[in-house]
Amino acid sequence: MAPRPCAVLGIGQTKYKRRRDDVTLDGLVREATLGAVEDAGASFDDIDAIVIGKAPDALEGVMMPLLSLCDALGAIGKPIHRVHTAGSVGASTAISAVNLVESGMYDTVLTVAYEKQSEGNATWALSGGKSGGQGAGGTFAPWIRNYIARSEAPEHIGWMVAVKDRLNALKNPYAHLHLPDISIEKVRESPMLWDPLHFLESCPSSDGAAAMVLGNDDIARKSGRPPAWVISHAKRTEFGQFPGRDTVRPQAGVECSEALYRKAGITNPREQIDCAELYVPFSWYEPMWLEGHLIAEEGEGWKMTDAGDTELGGSFPVNMSGGVLSSNPIGASGMIRCLEAANQVRGTAGEYQVPGAKISIGHAYGGAAQYYAMWMVSSELNPEL
């Protein structure tokens, strides 16, 4: 039996900030949830099930938060599921919600992801509570160095991505960082955190939540809201460490994108996809994922960045919303990529809209670049490629 078509019908986001000190964790999650339900023209009565995701519980020190968040989510008396795949969780969560609609199990599913990073410290959480923790940047920096060595990319590529995403963020009212005077010089002169990554080439630490209401084709037609049809999705996993692992271009990432494109009939992602929200927490991951997800040939990703192809007006815009480099409520960051891809094909992306965007992808990775979750959305259920 073919899967039931599934569409994004409502989107909700909080303003992303260093610290949301005006609300509780529950209140934060509630804001995005209400936004999505209202945007879908729905009410809590219309929601059949809830899928929630966040990064490790150690980030806020709240164990099994799905239980205490039940009333904020309107989940009492309904099935609730929690997804956990480290940094990729926001996208994995959204895809898990799609599965529930596609299977025919539920008609309308609410999916929510969040992080209130200000309540804890992510580097502490990733350190196992010990001194000398290197954080995500310290883990990825050596791989980035190896990418640079392998691809012979010039050092300014990372700075360019850092500037481009922050300029995009100026068009997004929800973005955490609004740095109107960002420049290559400022990025280059900012403190070195994990060589070769400067402070301004790294994602911020944000509080925030994101939510979507997903529905099947009947619900989509009835709602009258612009749909973003989820025409393909894929998740893949590999071990964090094993003999023969290529950390610069992890095999699970390659296979995840192959599966994503195959299901949608995409044979030339660069030409057939209009724009992408890729999970780029550190500047160099833009070219690394352009290559690692088969949008560019190996060694060619940085040339797309260098040529301006990934800018908002370029031939393959990436992170139109400002990306993870501008807002990073970790657990939500993957879901934001998915919902921003949906914003583009719904035509609801405001000032950072890619004109006429028909097909877009949302992507996230997590752990030691070992979990991948990607989805492809379109303004049409069966788009002409």
Partner 1 sequence: MPTLHDVDFILEYPYTRTTGPVIGPFLTGLRDGRILGQRCGARVLCPPMEFDPDAFATLAPDLVEVGPGGEVVNWTWVAEPSAKHPFDRPFGFAFIKLDGADTALVHAVDTGGDAAAMGVGMRVKAQFRDERHGSIADVYFVPEADAADQAIEPGEEPVTITEHLISLRIQEPLYPHRARFAQGLLDGKIIGQRSPVTGKVYVPGRGYDNMSRVLMDESDEVEVSDVGTVVAFTELNPVQYYGQTETEPYVRCSILFDGTDQPVIGIDIRDMTVDEMRVGMRMRCIWRDPEERSVAEIDNRYGNVPETVYARFESTGEPDVPAEQIKEHSW
Point out which residues bind partner 1 (CB under 8 A): 19-27, 30, 34, 44, 58, 60-61, 71-72, 74, 76, 116, 118-121, 123-125, 127-135, 138, 141-143, 145-146, 149-150, 191-195, 239, 241-248
Q: Which of 205, 156, 177, 178 is nearest to 332 (CA)?
A: 205
CB of 17 to partner 1, least distance (A): 11
In a 3-state reduction of DSSP, which class is residue 319?
A: coil
Find the shortest distance in angstroms from Cβ 7 to partner 1.
24
| Nearest CB to partner 1, comparing residues 58 and 381 | 58
| Minimum CB distance to partner 1 smaller for 135 or for 317 | 135
Based on CB atoms, which residue is closest to partner 1, 118 or 348? 118
Burial zone of 129 (CB within 10 Å; 0-12 exposed, 13-18 middle, 19+ buried) = exposed
Closest distance to partner 1 from the beta carbon of 25 (Å): 7
- 244 Rama sector, left if φ>0, alpha if ψ -120 to 50, beta otherwise: left
Per the omega criterion (within 30 degrees of 0), is the bond before 196 cis?
Answer: yes
Going from the C-alpha of 127 to that of each of 54, 59, 207, 255, 365, the distances in angstroms are: 18, 11, 20, 29, 19
Least distance in angstroms from the C-beta of 271 to partner 1: 29
Give 195 or 218: the residue with its C-beta nearer to partner 1.
Answer: 195
Q: Residue 98 and residue 31: Cα distance in Å, rounded?
A: 22
SS3 360: strand
Nearer to partner 1, 120 or 227 (CB): 120
How far apart are CB 277 and partner 1 at their closest, in Å? 26
The partner residues of 108 in beta bridges, in order of sequence, read 215
What is the H or E stretch that residue 122 is in?
helix 122-126
Nearer to partner 1, 54 or 164 (CB): 54
Sequence-distant (6+) residues with CB within 8 A of 171 are 312, 322, 350, 351, 352
Least Å distance, CB 187 to partner 1, is 16
List CB contacts of 335: < 8 A, sequence separation 6 or more: 53, 90, 91, 93, 94, 111, 112, 113, 210, 211, 212
Cβ neighbours of 352 (radius 10 Å)? 21
Number of neighbours of residue 234 by Cβ within 10 angstroms: 20
Nearer to partner 1, 116 or 363 (CB): 116
Q: Which of 265, 346, 353, 331 is nearest to 7 (CA)?
A: 346
User: Looking at beta carbons only, is 191 or 313 nearer to partner 1?
Assistant: 191
The nearest distance, CB 29 to partner 1, in angstroms, is 10
The answer to whether the beta carbons of residues 111 and 80 sit under 8 Å apart is no
- The CB-of-89 to partner 1 minimum distance in angstroms stands at 20
Q: CB of 348: closest distance to partner 1 in angstroms?
A: 24
Q: Name the residue nearer to partner 1 (CB basis): 201 or 340.
A: 201
Residue holding tokens 């402070």?
199
